[in-house]
Amino acid sequence: MEGKDENDVNGIISFLLYRRLVFGQARPTNRLRAHVGYSGNDAANVLAKKATQEGIPTCIPGPRNPIKSLLQKESIIRWQKEWDNGETGRSVHNVLPKVKTTPTPWQRPEIMFVTGYSPFPTYLKRHNNRNSYSCGCGNLGNPLHYATSCLFTTSHHLTKPSADLEPLWWKRVMNNNNSRAKIRKLIHFIAENETLFFPKDGDNN
């Protein structure tokens, strides 16, 4: 996108952000006792005063559909850059590197598996809900361990990948209906047998 179209899009985005700030469409997450002395509030006051004195346009000139298409295209481009350069969600990025507006057909257990969230000891220990990173079998309790090598989950195992093929393994597993069904059963099995998988709190590794 170059030249006039890019300038138009940037202008529209700036206008929408300005309008959002002035008219309070974005709700604050907490309240401050006074506006004075806080740069964000001072800036909001200046913009609000300017809006009451000068007003802002109530419509954007030009056909609606082309503008909507330009905004959507620019939004996807910016969203993709943020997703590629972000510091969080890297395990999901390995599986879903391209952003899209349609939802991925994952259920809650699959989301827990690919993100490494509870019920895995590696997640619980990181958030101080367990005293150990280990599974009850003594190995590191991460999703890959339970899905491929844990002694307690042999009936739910998937083929273990070599280290260099692990990124490809994640993509294939999370895009295969049969593999995802097996993962759902695995997560339910872990949740129903917590005492078997998690060491006692006194065993701190």
- Give dist(CA 50, CA 78) in Å, integer: 29
Is 4 a domain residue? no
Is 200 a domain residue? yes
Percentage of the chain lying above the pLDDT 90 cut? 48
Measured CA angle at 179 (ends 187, 190), to 5 deg: 15
Q: What is the mean pLDDT of residues 156-172?
A: 95
Is 152 a domain residue? yes
Is 159 a domain residue? yes
Phi, psi of 140 (to 5 degrees): -60, 125
Amino acid at position 203, single letter:
D
Examine the pLDDT at 3 and tell me if it is beyond 60: no
Of 203 and 114, the structure prediction assigns the larger pLDDT to: 114
Is 119 a domain residue? yes
Q: What is the model's pLDDT at position 60?
A: 60
* Per-residue pLDDT tens digits for 177-192: 999 999 999 999 999 9
Q: What is the model's pLDDT at position 65?
A: 81
* Per-residue pLDDT tens digits for 16-55: 555 554 444 444 444 444 444 545 556 667 766 776 666 6
- Over the range 29-53, which residues count as b (16 or more CB within 10 Å of their CB) and which as e? eeeeeeeeeeeeeeebeeeeeeeee
The domain total for the chain is 1
Is 37 a domain residue? no
Residue 63 binned pLDDT confidence (cut-offs 50, 70, 90) = confident
Of 58 and 111, the structure prediction assigns the larger pLDDT to: 111
Q: What is the model's pLDDT at position 178?
A: 97
Is 61 a domain residue? no
Residue 156 binned pLDDT confidence (cut-offs 50, 70, 90) = very high
Is 113 a domain residue? yes
Structural domain of 179 = 100-204
Q: What is the model's pLDDT at position 29?
A: 43
Structure tokens at 108: 């809650």
Q: What is the model's pLDDT at position 66?
A: 83
Q: What is the model's pLDDT at position 195?
A: 82
Q: In sequence order, what DSSP letters do the residues of the chain get, joined into one string?
A: --HHHHHHHHHHHHHHHHHHHHTT-S--SS--S-STT-HHHHHHHHHHHHHHHH---SS-SS-HHHHHHHHHHHHHHHHHHHHHH-SS-HHHHHH--S--SSPP---HHHHHHHHT-TT-HHHHHHTTS-S-SB-TTSSB-SHHHHHHT-GGGGGG--PPPPGGGHHHHHHHHHT-HHHHHHHHHHHHHHHHTHHHHSPPTT---
Residues in contact with 74: Cβ distance below 8 Å, sequence separation at least 6, in sequence order: 1, 9, 13
